[in-house]
Structure 1
Amino acid sequence: MTTLLHNRIEAGQLLASRLTGYANCPDGIVLALPRGGVPVAFEIARKLRLPLDVCLVRKLGVPGHKELAMGAIAPNDVTIVNRDVVNWLHISPETIEQVAEQEKKELARRDRAYRGNRPYPEIRDRTVILVDDGIATGATMRAAIAALRQQHPKEIVVAVPVAAPSVCQELRTEVDKLICLRKPEPLHSISLWYEDFSQTTDEEVRDLLERAERELMVMK
């Protein structure tokens, strides 16, 4: 039986212990998928003494069933479509475009809310540890990977607490390394594998990003 993770903090600490080879990496950076990925990534960045930032991606939820991803978008017009879901539910291109336009507005809002006036970090030739609190369909993570690839990083390492085994297998071909703590089959829902999966707020995201920046400056 798969042991439940207590919360995102514990998940980040456990992942950090699997990533010690990246500690103090001179070109390393930890990027979190907000919002739930940020508390996980904060623990990793703190343990490895690496800078922390966010990688903004938005899931494209099926109208009426928003938890079901028909795709995802990322900055620079990156769009990933989950063809299995789209074909199964006979979703039109117009519907996908309509939802994508709504989510682009939310991407812009989150960028202002989380980053403020801080510029997006330089990614070229850097080692990126990409973190979320779990992977269900993989659409959101694929959009994040595609957006990062456009910026030519040296290495992309995906680190997640829980994901479906089949999704892990597929994603391994798209990144340099993938670390996953729990691979339950069937997954059903990411929240089932945490004792505490309470929602992360915008305020928590901002606070953790600011704390990470302060702590890194003290360490230096």
Structure 2
Amino acid sequence: MKRRGSVTNVTAQRTLEAITTKELPVTNYQNAVKEFLRHCRIKGLSPETVKFYDKELKQTGRAFAEINTPLSDIRKIKTAQIESFIEQQQSLNRAINTINSRLRAGRTFFNFCLRKGYVDSNPYEGIQQLRKRHEVGATFSKRQLKLLLNAPDVTTFIGLRDLAIMLTFAHTGIRLTELTSLRIKDVSFDEKGAINIQQAKNRYARRIPLTKRLREVLKAYIQERGVWIPTFYL
């Protein structure tokens, strides 16, 4: 009997295609977001990063609903819907930074969906971040900064605390979240002294040397709190 080199029967060909073609699972937007956030936590992303994704993807979902984007099946969310989302956000006078944050979150989320096989392409591909004109923000003059740092009453605990906070900002340039996460053990007075930033935004700890004045103020503040500092550090 002569062996056939290919399937010629139309019905048989369609059956073969149905068997070999893997259909994407139907997943709605809300469930996919929940799974993505769970993935972020398991991956070990910082709570602030997970909170960022949660907030921006929820806001994006609400906007999608307002422009009738099909949320019951994320396979149906295409680039055209992302462009409509941008136009809708602009019509609401959302800040460029806000829109760009939601675009970044959405792109990362759909990359996850692509890896999971929920979509066959990322609808954010080809979508560019909105351009923003960069301007130099207002800053304190040396005179203003001096007046500000001289304002706290250092004869009181609150005044000493406020000065320690302001000096730390002024002399190190650390972020607010980094300062609020500082612990006594993160401040070192050996040699010239340093602050060890453990909760950095990029998850890489770093060490910032202390200036002479900041070292003196931090020592006074920590001692006022009742924490013992070895005499060889004084």
TM-score normalised to structure 2 length: 0.24
More helix by share: 2
**Larger Rg computed on CA atoms:** 2
* Bigger RCO (CA 8 Å, 6+ sep): 1
More strand by share: 1
TM-score normalised to structure 1 length: 0.25
